[in-house]
Amino acid sequence: MEADKEKKSVLILDPLHHFYNADIKLPVRDRILGQCCELIKRLSSSNYVAVLVPKLDTEEYKRFFPALAAVADEVIPVEEALVIEPTQDLLF
């Protein structure tokens, strides 16, 4: 709530993680996600905001991610990281 007064860049890491908790009723999670999206929109009006969300193949992700993506100016999908083979032989 206070971050929008600082005029600094903001990085939000995996905000949907908290909404995957099945112990909390779905209407409550929907309502709170809506409030969070409104706060993110307000914050982004005066600050640079980046939100990193890991892509999951779950029903919860498919339900909640579109709401978060709808408030974004841009969504940049990241391809899965490839396994990188070492380029240098082991020393031992």
Chain segment 17-65, per-residue pLDDT in tens: 999 999 999 999 999 999 999 999 998 888 899 999 999 999 999 999 9
Q: What are phi and psi of 2, to 5 degrees?
A: -90, -15
> How crowded is the C-beta side of 66, counted as CA atoms within 13 Å?
4
pTM for the model stands at 0.74
Task: State whether residue 88 is helix, strand or coil.
Answer: coil
Q: What DSSP element (H or E) covers 89?
A: none
> How crowded is the C-beta side of 43, counted as CA atoms within 13 Å?
21
Please, are residues 54 and 14 in contact by the beta-carbon 8 Å criterion? yes
Task: State whether residue 5 is helix, strand or coil.
Answer: helix
Residues 6+ apart with CB under 8 A from 12: 40, 49, 50, 51, 52
What pLDDT sits at residue 79? 72
Instruction: Indicate whether 77 pLDDT > 60.
Output: yes
Q: What DSSP element (H or E) covers 16?
A: none
Instruction: Indicate whether 5 pLDDT > 80.
Output: no
What pLDDT sits at residue 2? 61
What pLDDT sits at residue 53? 94
